[in-house]
Chain A
């Protein structure tokens, strides 16, 4: 990439600056605008341009040197990875943007020993994902999967959340940035706010609710959303009448904790960090700018994001699907694809937004759940249906089976329906008939645009953007921006779905971690607690703390009666009522009382343990008690707030809840987190680009790595690739990778090697290698599967019968990169989806469309006289690759769509091929004479069954590995300590594979940099009752149980089940299966649960001796 200023280039070429500007405008000089009044252009393009205008070689050389200076510096410094002035490295990282990508990056870094500042401009983290109703392709509830992550992020000791904040200025360079952050006032003291919502209730002013995309209102004193992190209210100063008119202050008057503080003002914070990760997300396309969509004109036209909120149970309609015009349930809904995407003509967004097709498929399917049992006609209007993600094609097929109608057309007219309700749409169907149809509601599948602050961030951090203002990165360094130490991830890098954003987050964390390695652990904090008191032999002495939560609990529940009642319960030695049990002074009081009364168990009757239990557990630790000696009675969220009309019933229930908690806590016993010693070595299976990238990332982060490859050379599929999709040459990159892997002292390469057997679990795997027939045993703590995939061999279209019929890879090697052959050829035909997206192989291989279209562009550029035809079903040049599709059409490549029932017919005729296909636009059969036929045969999985069986993880029906979670754990396998990356996960281009390689390595490093892994304490354990019947073994979803027949000294071999606590997740499926109470889960033993059950029954008081 070359970066230049118009003036400079003009001076060098001896022309007027306007001439250069005109060249750019007319497309003669194919440069795209970059920040700071600069332009960028690829070297290849620039050389071509220089040749066309006859610029002497010497001048060209000079230009190269001047314009690419910075890029080369960067490469050199990466090479030796020692930054000048390494002393100055700072062991902390700033993450800008609190969406899922930012959260993942922050957690990854915080877990591996860096202090993280997470900057978010709104009042809470969660980003777009928190606004979604469901996620594809599993239809998982979005909030269910993101909320635990938010809570974890919010209370992470090494993540400092700075909400309502933005970056003001940046100084310094990689390793030591000095960043000034402006934090806007919240007007609510977060230490005091208890999120009771009284401020919002009393606030007289309503404003548009941005969280619901302005389709509903909120108060000027608001919480971003009900589960927001931090769970604190805020005041919107632009709406608050105290700020605009000078009076009101109702919130201040009614706030039970005095949290409202109108005196807060902007805070300027100077932060020193070593690296920065930018994850500002995207800006949804605003269709109101174009009246032909009818948005904001017709009430029943909504955007896909608004529709997401309409579907959400936490949205304005509480999950009831009602159309905006008359609040009636719609019977007929249409989705309009590519609104603001693939639309160069209107909005300049010539890229594809990647996710909208699958998102529309999702919405069409999940809508049904909201109108239980009734009919809903669903129609999706599209240009090309792009379901190229993992499991997405099946998802699309499922929608078709569920009678979702897919119409290949873009409506030309969107008008209001009769009486102002519904929408009337005109479109031309595939047969060329003009159709008019009325829908109750229309959903515009809006695309992604670069975030609103993209330009500002680019200026502040001095990074390059592409011409659509997304961050510019390269294929082989997919998250590195043009500035060292600054990384761009998520939708800011290019439009993408959640899984790849998460992958990029881990990938960027690996890069940042590598940069700051020397300073790992220097700024991360660990809290030290006093030694635990031994309570063995002590009778239960329970302290009960009943929270009033201002009036939140006390307003409904008669707290005094609850306190009196609790004092009479068995084991209870002390009872106290707090105004707010979560306040800092209440914590002090709890610690004091534990010491004063020698309490050994605590019950907190307050809000929900989901948000507050960890805090009380910390308090117990400070009071020298084991943290599992506390139970919470949820008398707010599940009592006072939901029984506001029934004070007597609520009080009775509160007493029962306290009684249940006391009964349980009396049976609690101290639990220790098990420490698992970790073998700090990793195994990477597969020596392709992905395996090598993983190995190098691992070794770069200090992990000794073994790389095994079954063949006798490294490099894999990439050896057969000439350039990647971003036109960067692949061969030098692979050669360099192989050199670095071979030279790396921490990497041991085993060629002609397979894994024969594996035992053990996270932290302690033992494997046996077969190295060309000889065996060797190895130990490793974690492993990455990078076994790749291969190009499918077609069995149709005369493949194998004619030498003129080739697959992609064969064509690349033999023809495309052989200028002579390209010059000789007159006509080339590509057939897409050969064997893909068919019943026997029902998935899309993701790369073939881009590959064919790019090859067509190269052919046309190298030999403009050549005729190129692409026969396709849907062109799936997703994301930024859409530009190639546009370029191909501009260059005159002909695209002819075929259906599976009318596949092209190929015949040999002399030296040529004759291809007959039906052209749906000309509406007639056409015959093409071709010199070459290229078959896009797709990607098929390698035979991985053996590996999957060895490690006990699963594959999908197509032979690709199943990840642990399709959205939030895309590179984790379901077995702890095992990860996957690259093609063995799903077909994908090189840049995405490299992202996964590094992300997987990052996940491994987070585990293995600890000498010991502390496992969760809530795990299954085997009791003396176990008789070895083993019925629990098959039930365990984590393969954590096995049978042990070790005999004891009396020679009576006793068969017993044993648990592997590294694998156990504490779900308790085993416990509920056991007929004998032979296996149970700590914290949820039969005794504990039974005590709760018995205590719950009215009037039933547990006896003293129970």
Chain B
């Protein structure tokens, strides 16, 4: 039997909302697949596009950026900037042969543990369906 494909998904979680929401998912014992590798950042606005492209270049199968809902950013509009960048990142990814479906930006508030668990489950399923990401030589 071939082992199930276990994708590696890198998640950039903002300290104020999404990381807290992810912690709360733990407190509530909401179950989701163990493929997310969380990286805590202060704000989604600090995630440089290079980090995303580098993640794919290193062999990540998926990348998620998660931050506060629009209007709730601890730094006023970091998440809005992140959203603008996300659009550009998708374009870059497509151009460099990465399926843009492997990348997503999402809003998770600190109370939305169930939303977080659902999102990670669905995103993991999507990446499993897409199969392993092959790094271009």
Contact in complex: A227, B24 (CB < 8 Å)? yes
Question: Looking at the complex, which one of B50, B54, B72, B78 makes contact with A1067 (CB distance below 8 Å)?
Answer: B78
Give the CA-CA distance A1018 to B42 in the complex, in Å. Answer: 9
Residues in A neighbouring B34, C-beta threshold 8 A: 639, 642-643, 646, 649-650, 652-653
* B76→A974 contact, CB < 8 A: yes
Residues of B within 8 A of A141 (CB): 17, 69, 72, 109-111
Please tell me if the beta carbons of A1035 and B23 are within 8 angstroms of each other in the complex: no
A1024 at interface (Cβ–Cβ under 8 A)? no
> Of A140, A610, A657, A1069, which contacts B20 at CB under 8 A?
A610
Interface residues contributed by chain A, number (CB under 8 Å): 64
A657–B24 contact, CB under 8 A? no
Q: How long is the Cα–Cα vector from A314 to B28 in the complex, in angstroms? A: 9
Among B38, B77, B110, point to the contact of A144 (Cβ < 8 A): B110
On whether the beta carbons of B29 and A1069 are closer than 8 Å, the reply is: no
**Contact pick for A147, options B20, B42, B55, CB 8 Å:** B20
Q: Check A1065–B75 contact: CB distance below 8 A.
A: yes
Identify which of A344-352, A705-713, A762-770, A1088-1096 touches chain B.
A1088-1096
Asked if B37 and A656 make an inter-chain contact with CB atoms under 8 angstroms apart, the answer reads: yes
Q: A141-B110, A1066-B42 are in contact. Are A644 and B75 (CB under 8 A)?
A: no
Task: Judge whether A143 and B75 touch: CB under 8 Å.
Answer: no
From B16, B30, B42, B50, name the one whose CB has the most chain A CB atoms within 10 angstroms: B42
> A1037 touching B51 by the CB < 8 A rule?
no
- Chain A positions within 8 Å of B41 at CB level: 1068, 1084, 1089
A1090 touches B51 (CB 8 A): yes
CB pair B110 A1067 closer than 8 Å: no
Cβ-based interface call for A634 (8 A): yes
Cα A645 to Cα B121 in complex, Å, equals 14
Which residue on chain A has the smallest CB distance to residue B30?
Answer: A642
A148 proximal to B (CB < 8 A): yes
Contact digits for A1063-1092, partner B, Cβ 8 Å, 1 yes 0 no: 001111101111000000100101001101
- Per-residue A-contact encoding for B65-103, CB less than 8 Å = 1, 0 else: 000110110111110011001000000000000000000
Of the residues A143, A148, A642, A1093, contact of B117 by C-beta under 8 Å? A642
Known: A642-B31, A1037-B75, A1037-B76. Is A143-B111 also a contact (CB below 8 A)?
A: yes
Counting chain A CB atoms within 10 Å of each CB, the highest count among B17, B23, B41, B78 belongs to B23
B123 at the interface (CB under 8 A from A): no
Asked if A138 CB lies within 8 Å of chain B CBs, one says yes
A683 CB to nearest chain B CB (Å): 25
Q: Is the CB of B42 within 8 A of A1097?
A: no
B51:A144 contact, CB within 8 angstroms: no
Closest B residue to A1038 by CB, please name it: B75
Q: Bound complex: CA of A958 vs CA of B71, how far in Å?
A: 20
* Contact present for B42 and A1068 (CB under 8 Å): yes
Cβ A226 vs Cβ B27 within 8 A? yes
Residues of A near B42 (CB, < 8 A) are 1018, 1066-1068, 1081, 1084
From 860 to 899 in chain A, residues with beta carbon under 8 angstroms from any chain B beta carbon are none
Determine whether A341 belongs to the interface, using a CB cutoff of 8 Å to chain B.
no
User: How far apart are A231's CB and chain B's nearest CB, in angstroms?
Assistant: 9
Contact check, A1067 vs B27: say whether CB atoms are below 8 A apart. Answer: no
A148 CB contacts on chain B under 8 angstroms: 16
0/1 interface trace, chain B 25-53, chain A, CB 8 Å (1 if under)? 11111111111111111110111111100
The docked-state distance in angstroms from the alpha carbon of A650 to that of B55 is: 21
Identify A1072's interface contact among B8, B49, B68, CB under 8 A.
B49
Nearest CB in chain B to that of A659: its residue = B37
Does residue B128 face the partner (Cβ distance < 8 Å to A)?
Answer: no
Q: In the complex, what's the smallest C-beta–C-beta distance from A395 to chain B, in angstroms?
A: 13
Cα A964 to Cα B41 in complex, Å, equals 22
Q: Are A1100 and B59 in contact (CB under 8 A)?
A: yes
A900 at the interface (CB under 8 A from B): no
Q: Report if B2 contacts A (CB, 8 A).
A: no
Check A1042 for interface membership: any CB of B closer than 8 A: no
Point out the residues of chain B lying under 8 angstroms from A319, CB to CB. 111-112, 114-115
At the interface, yes or no: A46 with Cβ under 8 Å from chain B?
A: no
Q: With A138-B71, A643-B34, A656-B37 in contact, is A1072–B46 under 8 Å at CB? A: yes
Chain B residues, Cβ within 8 Å of A787: none
Task: A314 to B112: give the CA distance in the assembly, Å.
Answer: 8
Q: A1072 to chain B: which residues have CB within 8 Å?
A: 45-49, 81-82, 85
A147 touches B37 (CB 8 A): no
Q: Is A583 an interface residue (CB 8 A)?
A: no
In the bound complex, residues from chain B placing their C-beta under 8 Å from that of A1073 are 81
Q: Does A641 contact B (CB under 8 A)?
A: yes
- Which one of A638, A649, A1074 has the highest number of Cβ atoms from chain B below 10 Å of its Cβ? A638
Q: A313-B112, A319-B112 are in contact. Are A1096 and B37 (CB under 8 A)?
A: yes
Flag whether A701 is at the interface (Cβ < 8 A): no
Contacts of B38 on A, CB cut-off 8 Å? 634, 638, 657
List A contacts of B113 (CB < 8 A).
313-314, 318
Contact across chains for A1097 and B60 when beta carbons are under 8 A apart: yes
The chain A residue sitting closest to B55, CB to CB, is: A1093
Q: Is A312 part of the binding interface, using a Cβ–Cβ cutoff of 8 Å?
A: yes
| Contact between B25 and A642, CB atoms less than 8 A apart | yes
The answer to whether B39 touches A1092, judged by C-beta atoms less than 8 angstroms apart, is: yes
Interface presence of B10 (CB below 8 A) = yes
Q: In the bound complex, how far is the Cα of B110 from the Cα of A1084, in angstroms?
A: 21
Most buried by B among A197, A1069, A1081: A1069
For residue A636, which residues in chain B have a CB less than 8 angstroms away from its CB? Answer: 26
Residues of B within 8 A of A227 (CB): 24, 27
Please tell me which one of the listed residues B8, B82, B117 contacts residue A1096 in the complex, with CB atoms under 8 A apart.
B8
What's the nearest-Cβ distance from chain B to residue A569, in Å? 16
Residues on A with C-beta less than 8 A from B20 are 144, 147, 610
Q: Is the CB of A139 within 8 A of B58?
A: no
Contact in complex: A139, B71 (CB < 8 Å): yes
Which residue of B17, B46, B60 contacts A1081 across the interface (Cβ within 8 Å)?
B46
- Report chain B residues within 8 Å CB of A638: 22-23, 25-26, 36, 38
Contact B51 A1093 (CB under 8 A): yes
Q: Tell me which residues across on chain B come within 8 A of A1092, comparing CB atoms.
A: 39
Task: Give min CB distance, B40 to chain A, whole Å.
Answer: 7
* Assembly CA distance A1093 to B50 (angstroms): 11
A939 and B28 alpha carbons, distance in the complex (Å): 49
- Which residues of chain B have C-beta atoms less than 8 A from A650's C-beta? 34
Among B41, B111, B115, the most chain A Cβ lie within 10 Å of the Cβ of B111
Q: Mark A846-866, 1 if CB is under 8 A from B, else 0.
A: 000000000000000000000
Complex Cα spacing A108 to B113, Å: 32
Nearest chain A CB to B136 CB, angstrom units: 15
Complex Cα–Cα for A1018 and B15 (A): 13
Instruction: Report which residue of B8, B40, B77 has the largest number of chain A beta carbons within 10 angstroms of its beta carbon.
Output: B40
Alpha-carbon distance A643/B6, docked complex (angstroms): 14
Q: With A and B bound together, what is the CA distance between A974 and B23 in angstroms?
A: 29
Residues in chain A near residue B28, CB distance under 8 A: 226, 314, 318
Within the complex, the shortest CB–CB distance from A645 to chain B, in Å, comes to 6
A130-147 CB mask vs B (1 if < 8 Å, else 0) is 000100001111011001
Q: Is A8 an interface residue (CB 8 A)?
A: no
- Listed residue (B17, B19, B37) with the most chain A CB atoms within 10 angstroms of its CB: B37
Beta-carbon contact of B23 and A1096 below 8 Å: no
- Closest Cβ of chain B to A494, distance in Å, is 29
Docked complex Cα distance between A1067 and B6 (Å): 33
B48 touches A1097 (CB 8 A): no
For B54, list chain A residues within 8 Å (CB).
Answer: 1090, 1093-1094
What 8 pairs across the A-B complex have the smallest Cβ distances? A1068-B46, A637-B26, A649-B34, A1067-B75, A641-B26, A1096-B37, A1069-B45, A637-B23
11 pairs, CB–CB < 8 Å, chain A vs chain B = A313-B111, A313-B113, A608-B26, A634-B23, A1074-B48, A1084-B42, A1089-B41, A1089-B51, A1090-B51, A1090-B54, A1096-B39
User: Given known contacts A141-B17, A1072-B81, A1096-B60, what 4 new A-B pairs fall within 8 Å (CB)?
Assistant: A314-B28, A637-B27, A641-B27, A1089-B47
Q: Which of B's residues lie within 8 Å of A, judged by CB?
A: 6, 8, 10, 15-17, 19-20, 22-43, 45-51, 54-55, 58-60, 68-69, 71-72, 74-78, 81-82, 85, 109-115, 117
